[in-house]
Amino acid sequence: MRKRYRTPTPESYPNSISMRIGDRELHYEKAMSLRYGENPHQPAALYRLRDSPAIIGGLELLKMGKGGLSETNVEDIDNALNILKYFEQPACAVMKHLNPSGVAAARPGDSLRDVYIRARDCDRQAAFGSVVEVDAETAEEMISTFVEVVAAPAYGEGALEVFQGRRSLRVVRINDPRMLPRYIGDEVRHLRLRVLADGSIVLSTPLLTGVRG
């Protein structure tokens, strides 16, 4: 069973997708094949919106770990970034099964390791996302417990070498999530589209807020 979860499921989806919604045309390019979808028997692929800042769709997989990213891993990163995009100070979110199990932001005098520990200690068995560089000290702390995925905009000297010691860990570099639309009135070039069990769809705008801290 464990081997099945580590084995990629081949996909044959098109390299590009186009859709028209009213007078709006959206064009997507395949960014990568995913290990599998929600479950190991489901093929999946990640697409990025063409001519738009690619935060998740433009991610760089620095370490594949156990077969690369699954759909759930990507959705965990997405949900984490929808939280972290509102922080100007160093912050991290710990995700488990698409829900946040811990979020922390830096206080005066905090190191990156301090921020990580506060978020992690809500639940040590989860993935990790960050809006700042991950340094070697924080990397050492992270591999002291079970972590599936690390996603951050940058990695400091020695951090990637530390992660190499954890065979199953996947490491991702993303663009700064603060580039994402955050507030009502920000320019939004995409829509949220969710397909239901019978093929019906729900169309909505991305998560934005009118509250500014």
Q: Is the pLDDT of residue 92 over 90?
A: yes
> Do 156 and 202 sit in the same domain of this protein?
no
My answer on whether 174 and 187 are in the same domain is no
Q: What is the pLDDT of residue 145?
A: 85
157 and 191 co-located in one domain: no
CA distance 178 to 173: 14
Say which residues have a Cβ less than 8 Å from residue 84's Cβ, sequence separation at least 6.
91, 92, 93, 129, 130, 131, 177
Pick from 104, 99, 114, 116: which is nearest to 150 by CA?
A: 116
**In the predicted model, what is the mean pLDDT of the chain?**
90
pTM: 0.90
Give me the domain span that covers residue 156: 2-179
Q: Are residues 130 and 199 in the same domain?
A: no
Say yes or no: 167 and 192 in one domain. Answer: no
- The verdict on 21 and 94 lying in the same domain is yes
Statement to judge: residues 160 and 190 lie in one domain: no
Q: Contact at 8 Å (CB) between 50 and 68?
A: no
Tell me: do 86 and 116 sit in the same domain: yes
**How many domains does the chain fold into?**
2
Residues 210 and 131 grouped into a single domain: no
Looking at residues 50-77, what average pLDDT do you find? 91
Instruction: Report pLDDT for 129.
Output: 59
Q: Are residues 114 and 134 in the same domain?
A: yes
Tokens linked to 73: 């891993």
Do 97 and 202 reside in the same domain of the chain? no
**Res 79: pLDDT:** 93
Residues 91 and 172 reside in one and the same domain: yes
**pLDDT of the residue at 130:** 58
- What pLDDT, in 10s, does the model give residues 142-197? 998 888 899 999 999 999 999 999 988 999 999 888 889 999 999 888 889 999 99
CA atoms of 152 and 40, how far apart (whole Å): 26
* More confident position, 124 or 123: 123
